[in-house]
Structure 1
Amino acid sequence: MIEFLPFTVHSLPLFISLALLLFMSALISGAETAFFSLNPVQINELHTGESRKTQTVLRLLDNQDSLLSTILILNNLINIGAILVASAIIDITISFADSQFLEFIVKVVLVTFLLLLFGEIMPKIFATYNNVAFAKFMAIPLLGARVVVAPLSFVLIKLGGALTRSLSGNGHNVSIDELQDAIEITKTETPEDKEMLSGIVRFVGTQVVEIMKPRIDVVALEVEDNFVKVKQTVIKSGFSRIPVYKDSFDNIQGILFIKDILKYIERGEDFEWQKLARKPYFVPEHKKINDLLEDFQTLKIHLAVVVDEYGGTLGIVTLEDILEEVVGDIADDSDAVESFYQKVDENNYIFDGKTHIVDFERVLKLDDDFLEKVKGEADTLAGLMLEIKGDFVKVEEWVEFGKMRFTAQEIDNHRIIKILVTLQ
């Protein structure tokens, strides 16, 4: 038989403790939902923010394993505390006589109800609809908590990884290099098939900076340009999307879709075309292109602006650039038929200075790591020459590496336009 005992002042601290623990459980549970429900659009908007809370959210998301383990450790510790306090409250407020089974049932049902309602369901519903604000609110407390529980979190992550590997069996995980080697010895009908397979293998490891169009080659519009100049630029470039900047290319204001101005094509130079520019999408230079492809599919866009760690514009990357990594060059009706190199004879080639090192190695059938020791941070042949020389080069000046000589044939204001590559 259940009998309610009289309330005493001595039990008040327990009720306050339970309320605080349930509130803390709600915050931690809501934080889990808030952080892991952020979509690519919201994360991209966070990258444009400069507040301490915004930067802390991004810092926590950089190591999601550590973030999740911190949340789970805190949630379990708080919930255990809530269970113990709730059990103590029941002991001093309700008498079950000698019915231990009834006491067990009441404690389980009541405590479970409190934790589910106030510690899980309500905060997670709230966090789902207010995930950005909730993540910012909890960012700094979670960062501090991550430091406190770091040793336990490290152990749990390592044990979890070991357990996952043991449960997955003794199967051999094939590396990217092993897949590449397997493709090289695979017999395919055409070289194009082998190249496509190689592109698929390289796909997940390729960064945006490796395939982007550098800023110096990007056709862009200044926000102060009149409509006549805009139409001239559109006709001359033949592109369907053109970045719009203000004062400097590092300050991209939007992307002009050519289809948006077609119905205004007869307007004069005073037409305010700037209002038609759409919001740009920014991506960091080291973002993997498979992740960017998912973003493009989610956001239904075809172009992104690539920025460095300081926020400066490095160039642009398009959906076509990503697809060409797998299927090779895609030529549409507006593309001019051109090549980035010309074979002079068996030992001499003329390359564009902006040729990517990956494409250069592919043309000459070199190993992927052939230039690894000297290329440094360079992505193009022009950058490679600067890395080897350690200074600007002049016309007809050359550098050597291994059995190759690189000669600058054409230079425009320190920019190397054409390079003669001689195989010695």
Structure 2
Amino acid sequence: MEVSQILLVIISILSIAGSAFSSFSELSLFIVDKVKLHKLMTKDKKKSRYLKKLLENHRETLITILFINLLFNTVISISMSSLLTSLNIILSTIIISFTILILGEILPKIGGYSIAERMVLTISKIVYTINLIGKPMFKFVDEKIILPFVRPTRYISKREKAELIEVLKRNTKNPKLKKFIQILDFDVKDIMIPINDVILMNIHTKLTVEEIKKIKPTLGYVLFYENSKTNIIGASQIGKLLSSLENPKNLIEYIEPVIFVPETKKIYDLFIEFKNKKLMVSVVVDEYGNIIG
């Protein structure tokens, strides 16, 4: 084997490792439970500062990871094509594609899932460094190419949100409205109604007018589940439940969907989600996926 071929083999191996790294980075930063990442950041603020910065601008972070992936996959294609010159172009393309798919995508994501949470702080340092190096390019792609396609009502930076809340606090005289504004930056767990205080009913329960009138839900809604109380399928107002008695077979038509949110979600962000999805009730889950409110 010639020196040039050995060099191409080394470049191919390193590029496959780089492609696997980018896939594992995507897994660690975007697929691992966000509640767990939040708890990790609050537990060790010094070590998690890079992770926090990356998650604050998730679009730019994703662009960085995809750029790394594209770069290494391009190098893999070029180097392996040079090594497989003896094969016809179709066969060499198939081999290269399967190499990238198996070693660069599937194995890092499936095999690395169990260690993604433990490695996320280390991964975040490397990705943050690359992001810093290519900052002008990544920022340009984010602001000039990606952002125009994002709905304006859904985009507001953390700094802008804090400024907006502060301005509202200073300029609002209505005591009730002022109190409401003060909770916008709270976590949902701070104001949620505990699940033990919420009325839960089986979707297959046959209700009477008397039974419905006796219900005094804390939040004005009744949550419905099917088979198990952990399987909440929606919520309904008391008035709509009374209407359902006229057509009991279609009770499901009077039940509205609910949003499942982590306990660390901010109230402001929840209200934005309520507005965009046109829903009124959210179910809060803890880091283990248990329903808590």
Indicate if the aligned counterparts of 2:185 and 2:268 stay in contact, CA closer than 8 A: yes
Alignment CA distance shift 1:14-1:50 (3 Å): same
TM-score w.r.t. the length of structure 1 is 0.39
Write out per-residue CA displacement over residues 346-372 of structure 1, whole angstroms, 9 at most, x where no aligned residue. xxxxxxxxxxxxxxxxxxxxxxxxxxx
* Structure 2 unmatched ranges of 5 or more: 156-176, 192-261, 274-281
Q: Distance in 2 between matches of 1:59 and 1:75?
A: 21
Q: Report the counterpart of residue 291 of structure 2 in structure 1.
A: 300
Deviation at 1:288, TM superposition (A): 3.4
Alignment CA distance shift 1:16-1:156 (3 Å): same
Write out per-residue CA displacement over residues 151-200 of structure 1, whole angstroms, 9 at most, x where no aligned residue. 111121123335526xx8xxx9799xxxxxxxxxxxxxxxxxxxxxxx9x
TM-score w.r.t. the length of structure 2 is 0.54
**Structure richer in helix, relative to its length:** 2
Pairs aligned (count): 189
**Identity over aligned pairs, percent:** 19
Q: Which has the higher contact order (CA 8 A, sep 6+)?
A: 2
What SS does the aligned partner of 2:84 have?
helix
Q: Distance in 1 between matches of 2:103 and 2:27?
A: 15
Alignment CA distance shift 1:153-1:40 (3 Å): closer
The equivalences for 1:39-50 within 5 A come to 39-50=33-44
Q: Report the counterpart of residue 125 of structure 1 in structure 2.
A: 110
1:288 to 258, 268, 283: 268
Q: Report the counterpart of residue 159 of structure 1 in structure 2.
A: 144
Indicate if the aligned counterparts of 2:189 and 2:264 stay in contact, CA closer than 8 A: no
1:79 to 57, 63, 73: 73
User: Is 1:34 aligned with 2:28?
Assistant: yes
Deviation at 1:289, TM superposition (A): 6.3
Aligned-residue RMSD, C-alpha: 3.8
Write out per-residue CA displacement over residues 54-97 of structure 1, whole angstroms, 9 at most, x where no aligned residue. 33222211110111011011111111111111111112xx2x5x
Indicate if the aligned counterparts of 2:187 and 2:264 stay in contact, CA closer than 8 A: no
**Structure richer in strand, relative to its length:** 1
Indicate if the aligned counterparts of 2:188 and 2:264 stay in contact, CA closer than 8 A: no
Alignment CA distance shift 1:295-1:85 (3 Å): farther
Indicate if the aligned counterparts of 2:28 and 2:116 stay in contact, CA closer than 8 A: yes
The equivalences for 1:184-199 within 5 A come to none
Indicate if the aligned counterparts of 2:35 and 2:264 stay in contact, CA closer than 8 A: no
What SS does the aligned partner of 2:43 have?
coil
Q: Report the counterpart of residue 69 of structure 1 in structure 2.
A: 63
Deviation at 1:282, TM superposition (A): 8.4
Deviation at 1:300, TM superposition (A): 1.9
Write out per-residue CA displacement over residues 273-329 of structure 1, whole angstroms, 9 at most, x where no aligned residue. xxxxxxxx9859x66362895644744224xxxxxxxxxxxxxxxxxxxxxxxxxxx
Alignment CA distance shift 1:174-1:299 (3 Å): closer
Deviation at 1:115, TM superposition (A): 0.4
Deviation at 1:135, TM superposition (A): 1.7
